[in-house]
Amino acid sequence: QVQLVESGGGVVQPGGSLRLSCVASGFPFQSFGMHWVRQTPGKGLEWLALIWDDGNNKYYTDSVRGRLTVSRDNSKKTVFLQMNSLRVDDTAVYYCARRYCGRSKCYFDGWGQGTLVIVSS
């Protein structure tokens, strides 16, 4: 059973940084790409970043490229999201999710419970 547990959220001032972690269990972590997705009441669900299973390929949505960095440690079954230069509109619940591929495209199966990030002065 896929289990993902995020941590690292909290309250941070604008311009600050946070590092989110997501620990995986119940599946061969080193064989799966991993995503970060965030959710806000106003903007809904927004995909942020993808890191492939071996960590060699990383992709970001345009709005966060340069401020967010995804990484992973397969020995610790953990994926990270380093968030810098945080803005008020980064306030959201942040989820990690497993990459699952269908016949031609990939989706999100297996989500963590989320960690809340609040950016406020």
Partner 1 sequence: EIVLTQSPATLSLSPGERATLSCRASQSVSNNLAWYQQRPGQAPRLLIYDTSNRASGTPARFSGSGSGTDFTLTITSLAPEDFAVYYCQQSSDGPSYIFGQGTRLDIK
Please choose, out of 14-22, 65-73, 83-91, 109-117, the segment that lies near partner 1 by the rule CB under 8 A. 109-117
The answer to whether 59 touches 49, Cβ cutoff 8 Å, is yes
Question: 105 or 121: whose CB is closer to partner 1?
Answer: 105
- Which amino acid appears at position 99 of this protein? R
Nearest to 117 by CA among 9, 5, 21, 20: 9
Establish if 105 lies at the interface with partner 1 (CB under 8 A).
Answer: yes
Question: 12 or 50: whose CB is closer to partner 1?
Answer: 50
What DSSP character marks residue 54? T
Strand, coil or helix: 90: helix
What is the smallest separation between the CB atom of 108 and partner 1, expressed in angstroms? 6
13/11 Cα distance (integer angstroms)? 7
Write the binding mask 59 to 98 for partner 1: x where contact by CB under 8 A, - elsewhere. Answer: x-x---------------------------------x---
